[in-house]
Amino acid sequence: MLDHQRIKSWFETVYMLCFTVGVRSIRCLKALVRFTRLIWAPIAHTLRRVLEWLLLRHLRKLWTEWHRISKDYRLAREHMQETARDDRRRAFLQLLAMPIVAIRRHRGVFRAALNVALPVLATVVLVLTVQYWLGAEFALALKYQGTPIGYIADEGVYANAATIVRGTIINSDNSFVVEQAPDLHVEVLNADTTLGEQEVSDRIIAAIGDELTQAAGLFVDGVFHGALPTRSELQGQMDAVLSVHKTDKVDGVGFFAQTQIVEGLYPTASLTTAARMKAYLKTLTVQTMRNIEYTEAIKYKTVYQESATLPLGFESVQQPGKNGKQHVYAQEIYVNGVKKYQTVVSVEVLQEPVDRVVSIGAQKYNESTELGDGKATGTFIWPLPYTKTISSPFASRWGSFHGAIDIANGSTNGKPIIATDGGTVVKAEYHSSWGNYVLIDHGNGFKTRYAHCSKLEVKEGDKVAQGQYIAKVGNTGYSFGAHLHFEVIKNGVLVDPLDYVQR
């Protein structure tokens, strides 16, 4: 029951809403019609009165007069027919006078006709005039320095044509200026007769006439220095100046500065005389050239190859280099008799050089080791990779204590000595007893000494890596044969190297 009441209430609400909207819409529409009538009625009345005054009254008058003219025409025709029966001459004269009589009797109708026809005719003329001008095509009549050039579509055509003219004329001395504001006026013209940019530029050049001429210009290091009428004339002046410097010892002659002959269209004002051109050419520096040839060495190259079996920093020549030989053809350039430079023209190789091949040690005892890193690992490796033979141990000897081990096998002279661990070189010098020696501080309380060396490969202050090449075995100082005197110093005290070094 409740649902039925709700539906009924909802239906009544919708119905009243639609009814109210409909009634309001009809009232608004009627009000709009009344408002429109109220506004447009005076306007329509005014338009009708204007039309009445402009046209309708004249049409009604014309209609009335037309009936009068028709009636008079019938009467006149009947009268002429009666007169013609009696006197044809008189009838002919009446026929000639009839238009004049008609105009006098019906001048009102002619005025009315003119009042109607003239506005109509004016409207037709206006429409035709507007249509003509809307369909007309306009062009600009161009004159350059008073000379008619032709017709162009717009000013942009002339601007682009002027740019083409400037590019065509070689105007390096700025003696010629293209007119910026030519004589232009508008004319009605068929678009097919207008000129393009290239045609306009050609006609401008033709109109300029005597202001331009074909010539050959001289440019020195890119700078214009005058023009002569022909290339042959200018080249002849240049050759005449250069011929003075030609001798048997000279293979070629030319100007030191870069000279160039450019043919083209030049302003007449840029032309010079042959005498002036020759005088200018004489001021230029002249250079002479001699062809020479000689044989020279081709230096060999050094090729480096890493070897994992050699200590870090050690270099060993595997193949000596040999210079090659080549034959050179060149030119010597002289300025005012002084040689300025030489240019190689071609080279003929007579013998190829032989590369010098050098092996570079790359042996590492630790993957993180880098040449000269100075890092101590805390462990010691054997200092003489060539041999592990000990010729004298860490012990008493000849009435005194030998605080080191001597390493030798009878053929160790010149063999590479390596740093047993990374560190800093604190000594690299000659000593009366140790001879040439190296002392390395490993920074952890340990130092190592390498004595009796024939050659030192490091200096004081150098950082060395474990396994790095530092010296060669020798027999310097207080020594009786080539060997390595090797010490391990712990906190300032000599200790047996074999307790710390892996053999």
Last residue of a domain, one of 333, 357, 381: 357
Mean pLDDT of the residues in the chain: 83
Domain assignment present for 466: yes
User: Quick one: which of 245, 249, 335 has its CA closest to 290?
Assistant: 249
Structure tokens at 163: 């740019």
Residues 61 and 127 reside in one and the same domain = yes
How many Cα atoms within 13 Å fall on the side-chain side of residue 269? 9
How many Cα atoms within 13 Å fall on the side-chain side of residue 29? 6
- With residues binned 3-state (H G I as helix, E B as strand, rest as coil), the percentages for the chain, rounded to 5, are 40, 35, 25
Last residue of a domain, one of 77, 112, 136: 136
User: Quick one: which of 284, 288, 280, 275 has its CA closest to 245?
Assistant: 288
Residues 404 and 349 reside in one and the same domain = no
Provide the CA 204 distance to its chain's centre, in angstroms. Answer: 34
Domain assignment present for 331: yes
Q: Assess contact for 415 and 472: CB atoms under 8 A.
A: yes
User: With 0-12 CB in 10 A as exposed, 13-18 as middle and 19+ as buried, what is 199?
Assistant: middle
179-219 tens-digit pLDDT: 766 777 776 665 557 778 788 777 777 777 777 888 899 99
Domain assignment present for 240: no
Q: Assess contact for 449 and 421: CB atoms under 8 A.
A: no
* Side chain identity at residue 5, one-letter code: Q
- Confidence tier at 163 by pLDDT (50, 70, 90): confident
Residues 104 and 63 reside in one and the same domain = yes
Residues 346 and 378 reside in one and the same domain = no
pLDDT at 495 over 90: yes
Q: How far apart are CA 69 and CA 418, in angstroms?
A: 147
Q: How far apart are CA 314 and CA 320, in angstroms?
A: 17
Structure tokens at 6: 């709700």
330-374 tens-digit pLDDT: 998 888 778 888 889 999 999 999 999 999 999 998 888 899 999
- In three-state secondary structure terms, 214 is strand
Give the range of the structural domain holding residue 80, as residue numbers without chain letter.
Answer: 42-136
91-119 average pLDDT score? 64
Domain assignment present for 283: no
**Highest-scoring range by mean pLDDT, 154-168, 256-270, 293-307, 330-344:** 293-307
Residues 379 and 437 reside in one and the same domain = yes
Residue 300 DSSP one-character state: P
**Highest-scoring range by mean pLDDT, 16-30, 244-258, 288-302:** 288-302
Domain assignment present for 475: yes
Structure tokens at 271: 């032309």
The larger pLDDT score, comparing residue 179 to residue 444, is at 444
The larger pLDDT score, comparing residue 407 to residue 70, is at 407
- In three-state secondary structure terms, 337 is coil
Instruction: Count structural domains, the chain.
Output: 4
C-alpha triplet 354, 358, 364: angle, nearest 5°: 160
User: With 0-12 CB in 10 A as exposed, 13-18 as middle and 19+ as buried, what is 211?
Assistant: middle
Q: Assess contact for 218 and 226: CB atoms under 8 A.
A: yes
C-alpha triplet 430, 494, 403: angle, nearest 5°: 70
Domain assignment present for 230: no
Domain assignment present for 228: no
Q: Assess contact for 340 and 285: CB atoms under 8 A.
A: no
Q: Assess contact for 349 and 298: CB atoms under 8 A.
A: yes
- Confidence tier at 83 by pLDDT (50, 70, 90): low
Query: Distances in Å between the alpha carbon of 428 and those of 136, 361, 452, 485?
Result: 105, 22, 12, 14
Length of the chain: 503
97, containing H or E segment? helix 88-105
417-437 average pLDDT score? 97
36-62 average pLDDT score? 68
- In three-state secondary structure terms, 395 is strand
Angle, helix 274-282 to helix 231-243, in steps of 10 degrees: 40
465-477 average pLDDT score? 96
Residues 84 and 201 reside in one and the same domain = no
- Confidence tier at 1 by pLDDT (50, 70, 90): very low
Task: Indicate which CATH number applies to the domain containing 449.
Answer: 2.70.70.10
Last residue of a domain, one of 185, 215, 245: 215
The larger pLDDT score, comparing residue 161 to residue 307, is at 307
